[in-house]
Homo-oligomer: A and B are copies of this chain.
Amino acid sequence: MEDLWNIWFSELHRKSAGLTVKIKDILFSGKSDFQRIEVFDTEVFGKVLVLYGSIMISERDEFIYHEMITHVPLNVHPAPESVLVVGGGDGGTVREVLKHKDVKKVKVVEIDRMVVEVCKRFFPEISGGFDDPKVEIVYNDGARFMAETGERFDVVIIDSSDPVGPAEVLFQRQFYENVYRKLKEDGIMVAQTESPFYDREAISKIYRSFKQIFPIVSMYIASIPTYPSGLWSFGFCSKRFHPIHDFRGTKVDCASLRYYNPDVHVASFKLPNFIKELVE
C-alpha cells in the first residue's frame, strides 16, 4: 500500500536549492525559549534533529561531523585534560571526547536546556555521554560564559548551529578573542565554520578574525551529506601546536570510528583551490 502521508522537510539555500527529505513520522515539534525544535523520523537518514529550521544531526551521518570536530584537535594536543564544548547540546561531540582517555573533565555550555532534554529522549545513543561523571553541563549563553569564566582549557570546541538564530554571537570576533584568553598557553580551538560552497563571504570573514587572534590557523573539510552542499569546513586555531607537524598519530582506537583515521586527519587539511582562496 502506498503511504500517502506526503510530508517533506526541505532545507533550502537562498530559498532555491537544498536537501529535501520525506518524513516518516514527526516525533517531536516544540518551541523553546530560543528556537523551534523538531525531531523527525526519515527513511534515508533515520531520526533527524532540526533546530531553527536546519538539520543539526541525523542518525545516519552524525558520526562524520562529531568525529571530525573532536578527534582532529584531541589528537594534535599531546595531553588534553580539560575540554570545553560550546553548544553541542545533542551530545555527539561529548561522546567522541570521552573516547580520549587523557581527558579528565568535559564542560558543555549549552544555551537551550530543551535541546539536551529532547536529545536524551530521542537520541540516547548520541547523548549518552552526558551521564558520564567527567561531564558537566552548564546552561548559559556561550558568549557570556566565555567572557566571564575564570577557568582555562586545553581544548575548546565550538559546536554551534548556524550564524542565524541563537548561535549568531558565536561567529563574532569578540567571542573568539575571549576563547583565546581562556585557552591555556598551548591550547587549541576548533569551530565548525559552515559550507565553503555556499557561505563563502561569511567564511572569509571568520578566518580573517581567526588570523588576527591566533598564530596558527588552518581550515579542514569533511563530506557531510545532510549539511548544505554536502561539504563542510572546520577551523583549527591554535596557540602552539600545528595540526599536521605536531600530529603524532591517533590516540583513539580508529577501528571503532567510521570516518576519522590518521590518513583522513592529514588529508582533510589539503584544500581544493576554490576553498583555499577563502582562507589565504
1/0 per position for A1-31, CB-CB distance to B under 8 A?
0000000001011111111111000000000
| Contact, CB under 8 Å: A45 / B17 | yes
B contact residues around A270 at 8 Å (CB): 263-264, 266-267
Q: A231-B230, A273-B257 are in contact. Are A20 and B20 (CB under 8 A)?
A: yes
| Contact, CB under 8 Å: B16 / A43 | yes
Cα–Cα distance between A43 and B63 once the two chains are bound (Å): 32
Q: Is the interface of A mostly helix, strand, loop or mixed?
A: mixed
Say whether A133 faces chain B, with CB atoms less than 8 Å apart.
Answer: no
Choose among A10, A42, A260, A263 the residue with the greatest number of B CB atoms under 10 Å from its CB: A263
Say whether A221 faces chain B, with CB atoms less than 8 Å apart.
Answer: yes
| Contact, CB under 8 Å: B254 / A225 | no
Cα–Cα distance between A230 and B224 once the two chains are bound (Å): 8
A7 vs chain B, min Cβ distance (A): 11
| Contact, CB under 8 Å: B272 / A260 | yes
Tell me how many chains of this kind the complex includes.
2
Cα–Cα distance between A279 and B125 once the two chains are bound (Å): 28
Cα–Cα distance between A15 and B2 once the two chains are bound (Å): 12
Cα–Cα distance between A10 and B19 once the two chains are bound (Å): 9
Please name 15 pairs of A and B residues whose Cβ atoms are closer than 8 Å in the assembled complex, sorted by A: A12-B20, A16-B21, A17-B44, A18-B19, A61-B197, A197-B225, A223-B230, A259-B272, A259-B274, A261-B272, A261-B276, A264-B271, A264-B273, A266-B267, A267-B267
Say whether A258 faces chain B, with CB atoms less than 8 Å apart.
Answer: yes
A interface with B by C-beta (< 8 Å): 10, 12-22, 42-45, 61, 63-64, 197, 221, 223-225, 229-231, 254, 257-261, 263-264, 266-268, 270-274, 276
| Contact, CB under 8 Å: A20 / B19 | yes
Nearest 6 interchain pairs by C-beta:
A230-B230, A267-B267, A267-B270, A17-B44, A16-B22, A263-B270
| Contact, CB under 8 Å: B273 / A260 | yes
B contact residues around A197 at 8 Å (CB): 61, 223, 225
B contact residues around A267 at 8 Å (CB): 266-268, 270
Cα–Cα distance between A259 and B277 once the two chains are bound (Å): 11
B contact residues around A14 at 8 Å (CB): 43-44
B contact residues around A15 at 8 Å (CB): 22
